[in-house]
Structure 1
Amino acid sequence: MKEQFNRALGNLVDKLIGWFNTIIESIPNLVLAILVMVTTYFAAKYISRLVGKLIDKKVEQASIKSAISRVSSVVVVALGLFVALGVLNLGKALTSLLAGAGVVGLAIGLALQGTLANTFAGLILSFRKKIQIGHWVETTGYSGEVMDINLKDFTLKESDNNIVIIPNKTILDNPLKNYSLTTRMRIFLECGVGYESDLEKVEQLTKQVIADTFDQVKSPDDVEFYYTEFGGSSINYLCRFWIDAESMLAKLRAKTTAIIEIKKAYDKEGINIPFPIRTLQFDNKLDVKAPDFKEVYSNN
């Protein structure tokens, strides 16, 4: 019994001595690994600030800039951790860590598929020069001013001051019309005049009114005017001209001004803008004193 105890005690002492020797031998590697992690920490902070400065002029959204800076710092720290584990000769631990990270990443990706899609879509939208905060856009049936682009959604403010929040993935997958990319818009104006009107006079007067109302229209020749059809109560036409505008509100204001000035000019010149009228005409000349009428009336 005593011999077994002494043998076990000896094995324990040998094991502790072996561990102690391993620790002594690993001190240089441990110190080096600590230096790597400390250096990585300061390098991550520096790279985060540097990335923030680089994207500051390209991305206006603070949330996007903060997210990109954090991602860059996390990448640097992860690289430093892998190097430190390699210095400590923990290759198996490094392999297990990578395998575990892959499994966890796959699980998280499947669970947050929609969220991650919106996140990456938000990053892509933030770097698109053709979509910026303050632009007036139209997409997925909504039209308004871009108020915010973050990692989750795309925010619009419509002309009636309502806020519309659209997922980033939806914006990326659907067509988007940006009115702010061009400084000019074409106004389409449809109207009709009475059949008794002098059509040539109507055309000349309409063109002249548009040219006198808008500074962007240099002469009546810059206004397009086309008669389109013989309507039920009027001869209809289409008038088109260009204005300087970057939003739908400016376009609507210009169209409103054009309608008011054209109506004033037509009233002054006696040009009629008809509206549908139903006329009831009785041509049967029915005589209430006729014998047939009295007989039918009495039977009813």
Structure 2
Amino acid sequence: MSKDFSLNESIRGIWDKMASWLDSLILNLPNFILATIIFVIFIFIAKYAAKLLDKILKRKGSQDSIRHISTKVAKVFIILLGFFVALGLLNLDTILTSVLAGAGVIGLAIGLALQGTLSNTFSGVILSFLPELQIGDWVETNGFAGEVIEINLRNIVVKESDNNYVMIPNSKIIEEPFKNFTRTARSRVMVNCGVSYSSDLEFVQKLTTETMQALFAQRGNEEVEFMYGEFGDSSINFVVRFWTDVTRNRDVLTAKNKAIIAIKKAYDQNGINIPFPIRTIDFTNKLSINEPKKEE
């Protein structure tokens, strides 16, 4: 009898609990529906706000990496705002506090586990807003040289001269120096050469300088510079420096190619010799395997 009574009491307790939950659900159903609607509205707002921000940034001429990161951050921020508003409508302040506390702990654990990934992510954000590095620039960094094709939250993609793509982690770009050819429209190019010891050095200097000035127009305070550097093994070596339009490494190679051809033609027309190392082999051997016979 007692067993049947306890079983009935348990069943009655379960039904009472379910009834109270059902009452709570019915009472909070309007708030739940309203919270759901609010959250869905915030999702649509985030979607269209991201598109609007993308158009504004594109109209201002911002690079692709800045637009992509800015729109993603704005979208996530608006959705999170809608989530917190929905929780507030459901009177789940305690749950909201617990979620924030749990997110902090989980975020700390994830941060410790993904230090390298997070480092690349934050570096990607910095690179996206860095004016010294933009999509389309020609850069040299970490032993690679090429055109920047993409900047994302993990790496930058560089297209090298041989048409191969290289992905370099963002943290490497931040930590290591890089050379950007595109940021300066004009650069100084240097060509090294040498002339024979019998050459008229002052005439060589004058001829080389005039040849470079005729080939590469110098602007403003720019000038062709000619400097002898050393007495080489078979020549007196010099370097000539001049300014020209350079936005990528290929422009440097093209300028050097033109300069070398022009210098060689000018030297040939004026009888100036560009020597090359000559090795002389002496076959004279005074040592003999057979000793000379002694006279008796």
- Deviations 1:254-279, CA, capped at 9 Å, x for gaps: 11111111111111211111122233
Unaligned runs of 5+ in 2: none
- State how 1:183-198 maps to structure 2 within 5 Å: 183-198=185-200
Aligned to 1:204: 206
Aligned to 1:227: 228
Distance 2:9 2:115 in 1: 59
Aligned to 1:276: 277
Computed over aligned residues only, the root mean square deviation of the Cα atoms, in angstroms, reads 3.2
User: Which of 90, 98, 103 is residue 88 of structure 1 equivalent to?
Assistant: 90
Distance 1:89 1:10 in 2: 29
Distance 1:123 1:165 in 2: 16
Residue pair 2:63, 2:135 contacting (<8 A) in 1 also: no
Q: What amino acid does structure 2 have at the position aligned with 1:126?
A: S
Q: What amino acid does structure 1 have at the position aligned with 2:230?
A: E
Distance 1:133 1:218 in 2: 28
TM-score normalized by the length of structure 2: 0.83
Residue pair 1:211, 1:218 contacting (<8 A) in 2 also: no
- Deviations 1:269-295, CA, capped at 9 Å, x for gaps: 1111112223356899x598xxx9524
Aligned to 1:266: 267
Q: What amino acid does structure 2 have at the position aligned with 1:128?
A: L
Aligned to 2:50: 48
Q: CA deviation at 1:244?
A: 1.6
Judge which range, 241-250 or 275-284, deviates more.
275-284
Aligned residue pairs, count: 288
User: Which of 105, 108, 111 is residue 109 of structure 1 equivalent to?
Assistant: 111
Distance 1:74 1:283, change over 3 A: closer
Distance 1:280 1:53 in 2: 75
Q: CA deviation at 1:8?
A: 6.5
Q: What amino acid does structure 1 have at the position aligned with 2:64?
A: E
- State how 1:107-186 maps to structure 2 within 5 Å: 107-186=109-188
Tell whether 2:37 aligns with 1:39: no
Question: SS of the counterpart of 2:62?
Answer: coil
Distance 1:103 1:194, change over 3 A: same
Q: CA deviation at 1:240?
A: 1.2
Q: CA deviation at 1:27?
A: 4.2
Question: SS of the counterpart of 2:258?
Answer: helix
